[in-house]
């Protein structure tokens, strides 16, 4: 089994564990009633009744109750106002535009005048009413329900407890969503940092930034759409608007991800889809602001666009996969398929079944979707890093002199070309040509092994002195050169240091080493930059003169 398959299997195992954890949290949320009862933090109120034919009729909550002939449902309780002074009553009844009275005092009234919600959105909200602390003896709590579907009211339990306990209960109800939102923001941060890191090293970072944007928008949507945010914010209308705009625009970075990762730039339909998302957000904002059309009444348009976008992308992926059989594309295609299924289920729960936790299903789908995408990208990055490492080794071997270990002529010519192409980036530079004196005589007298030893020793002396200040090259059999970009004013001093290195070598070795050298500067005394050919010629001529002087001195 190769390394890539092991990574995929390990990631799938981690993904499976995450799904199990999420589903466990979901189960905890489903059985929250049993949890709260065993802990005894909240109390289910009893003693509720309604008036029928001038008689009290006891009512059991958490069931469906038929309204009175006027279409309303009014419940009374004679005991809890005295028993739970200063406590909070809480129940999920926002979709019935509930009003709660303590005697004649209105202590709670649901209103969405600032931001209109439909029944699916209202069904998630809790209605909290504080029982007066200074209530009169015999104060009756009255709850009025209205707008029941076909005159039928599906009532939830009415619970009572201290304010902090009620708050904790609401948090417990939303714990699955809180965990998933936290995971989304964490993954968004990780993707953002990874994208910045890759960009620093000039690698493909765009897809990570796309994922970071998608996760951030998804997290903002889930957070602003959550019951906690809707109930406890001081700006419910603004929170609702943020929720709608995040939902309308969160798919834009995903379309960009598909284009950037799968090289789908050729499919112009993806650009059209993004334009439709932007146009949808803009037009809905204008209609809401100018014509006072509620955002919730235009929500189906966004749902249709999302459905069309996902189906279009999946179809394009299927066609591309049939042609290329690319393994990364297959993973991404499966991810989009999972999100599409989660989206369809959520839409069915939202429009047909009117189930309040429709968002949880989509949240799970988004998390699985993102983890599959990140898995695909990281596996691809491992492969890219491996390939890049192999290429770097290969390129280094191409530019490295095998005998001496320093750069070869190919690397030297590339550096000169870079200097010529980016002349403005170089203030000045020194070029030093060097040549090992008498190498042919050494080869003839002592053999090529001796000559090789001199070449290696010459390279070592040159590198010991100049490597800190510039780049060293072997450009021929006995020819070397050095390029210095900084400290060019110290060239003479560096050459003296090289002479000391040579003297040190000659003390302890039987083969005599001597190196001729010639120096030329990239810019002349007036600061004008020379042509590369002139620069090399001057250095070569200076080296020739240096070699000639050495021969004269040797004869003398």
pLDDT higher than threshold 70 for residue 354: no
Please compute the mean of the pLDDT values over residues 125-142 and round it to a whole number.
86
Confidence of residue 144 (pLDDT cuts 50, 70, 90): very high
Q: How far is CA 281 from the centre of its chain?
A: 23
What pLDDT digit, counting tens, does each position of 286-326 carry? 999 899 899 888 988 998 898 888 888 888 888 888 888 87
Q: What is the DSSP string of 441-501?
A: HHHHHH-HHHHHHHHHHHHHHHHHHHTTTEEEEE-SSSEEEEEESS-GGGHHHHHHHHHHH
pLDDT higher than threshold 80 for residue 139: yes
Confidence of residue 199 (pLDDT cuts 50, 70, 90): confident
What pLDDT digit, counting tens, does each position of 230-270 carry? 888 778 888 888 889 988 988 888 888 888 777 777 888 99
d(C-alpha 66, C-alpha 154), whole Å: 9
Query: What separation in angstroms does the CA of 139 have from each of 80, 86, 135?
Result: 9, 14, 6
Element (H, E) at 278: helix 269-291
pLDDT for the residue numbered 28: 41
Please compute the mean of the pLDDT values over residues 12-24 and round it to a whole number.
45
d(C-alpha 17, C-alpha 313), whole Å: 28
* Burial class of 275 by CB neighbour count within 10 A (0 to 12, 13 to 18, 19+): exposed
Q: Which of 219, 277, 285, 222 is nearest to 252 (CA)?
A: 277
Q: Do the beta carbons of residue 458 and residue 511 sit within 8 Å?
A: no
What pLDDT digit, counting tens, does each position of 168-187 carry? 888 888 887 888 888 888 88
Confidence of residue 391 (pLDDT cuts 50, 70, 90): low
What pLDDT digit, counting tens, does each position of 207-231 carry? 788 888 888 888 888 888 888 888 8
Residue 485 φ/ψ, nearest 5 degrees? -105, -25
The tokens 């146009």 sit on which residue?
279
pLDDT for the residue numbered 278: 92
Confidence of residue 275 (pLDDT cuts 50, 70, 90): very high
Q: Do the beta carbons of residue 51 and residue 74 sit within 8 Å?
A: yes
What pLDDT digit, counting tens, does each position of 72-86 carry? 899 999 989 888 988
Confidence of residue 356 (pLDDT cuts 50, 70, 90): low
pTM above 0.85, yes or no: no
Please compute the mean of the pLDDT values over residues 519-544 and round it to a whole number.
89
Q: Which of 232, 237, 230, 356 is nearest to 294 (CA)?
A: 237
What pLDDT digit, counting tens, does each position of 403-447 carry? 888 998 888 998 999 888 887 777 888 999 999 988 888 888 888
pLDDT higher than threshold 50 for residue 44: yes
The whole-chain average pLDDT of the chain stands at 81
């Amino acid at each position: 089994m190769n390394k890539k398959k092991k990574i995929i299997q390990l990631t799938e195992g981690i993904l499976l564990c995450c799904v199990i954890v999420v589903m466990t949290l979901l189960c905890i949320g489903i059985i929250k009633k049993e949890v709260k009862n065993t802990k005894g933090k909240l109390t289910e109120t009893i003693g509720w009744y309604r008036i029928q034919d001038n008689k009290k009729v006891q009512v059991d909550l958490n069931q469906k109750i038929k309204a009175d002939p006027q279409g309303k449902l009014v419940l009374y309780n004679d005991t809890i106002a005295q028993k739970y002074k200063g406590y909070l009553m809480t129940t999920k009844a926002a979709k019935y535009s509930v009003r709660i009275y303590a005697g004649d005092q209105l202590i709670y009234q649901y209103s969405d005048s600032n931001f209109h919600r439909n029944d699916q959105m209202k069904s998630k909200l809790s209605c909290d009413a504080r029982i007066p602390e200074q209530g009169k003896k015999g104060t009756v709590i009255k709850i009025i329900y209205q707008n029941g579907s076909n005159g039928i009211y599906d009532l939830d339990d009415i619970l009572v407890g201290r304010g902090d306990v009620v708050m904790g209960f609401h948090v417990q109800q939303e714990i699955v969503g809180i965990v998933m939102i936290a995971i989304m923001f964490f993954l968004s941060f990780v993707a953002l940092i990874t994208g910045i890191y890759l960009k620093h090293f000039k690698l493909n970072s765009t897809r990570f930034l796309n994922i970071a944007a998608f996760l951030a928008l998804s997290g903002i949507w889930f957070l602003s759409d959550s019951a906690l945010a809707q109930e406890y914010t001081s700006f419910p209308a603004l929170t609702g608007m943020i929720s709608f705009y995040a939902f309308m625009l969160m798919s834009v970075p995903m379309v960009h991800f598909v284009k950037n990762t799968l090289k789908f730039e050729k499919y112009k339909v993806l650009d059209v889809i993004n334009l439709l998302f932007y146009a949808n957000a803009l037009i809905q904002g204008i209609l809401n602001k100018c014509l006072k059309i509620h955002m919730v009444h235009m929500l189906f348009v966004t749902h249709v666009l999302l459905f069309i976008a996902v189906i279009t992308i999946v179809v394009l992926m299927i066609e591309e996969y049939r042609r290329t059989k690319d393994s990364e594309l297959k993973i991404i295609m499966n991810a989009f398929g999972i999100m599409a299924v989660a989206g369809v289920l959520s839409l069915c729960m939202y429009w047909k079944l009117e189930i309040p936790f429709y968002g949880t299903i989509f949240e799970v789908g988004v998390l699985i979707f993102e983890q599959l995408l990140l898995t695909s990208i990281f596996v691809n990055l491992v492969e890219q890093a491996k390939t890049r490492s192999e290429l770097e080794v290969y390129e280094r071997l191409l530019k490295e002199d095998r005998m001496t270990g320093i750069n070869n002529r190919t690397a030297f010519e590339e550096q000169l070309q870079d200097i010529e192409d980016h002349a403005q980036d170089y203030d000045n530079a020194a070029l030093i040509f060097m040549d090992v004196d008498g190498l042919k005589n050494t080869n003839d007298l002592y053999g090529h092994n001796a000559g090789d030893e001199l070449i290696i020793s010459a390279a070592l002396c040159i590198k010991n002195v100049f490597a800190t200040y510039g780049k060293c090259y072997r450009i021929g059999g006995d020819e070397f050169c050095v390029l210095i970009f900084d400290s060019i004013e110290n060239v003479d001093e560096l050459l003296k240091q090289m002479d000391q290195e040579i003297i040190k070598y000659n003390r302890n070795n039987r083969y005599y080493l001597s190196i001729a050298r010639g120096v030329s500067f990239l810019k002349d005394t007036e600061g004008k930059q020379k042509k590369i050919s002139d620069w090399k010629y001057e250095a070569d001529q200076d080296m020739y003169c240096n070699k000639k002087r050495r021969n004269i001195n040797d004869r003398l």
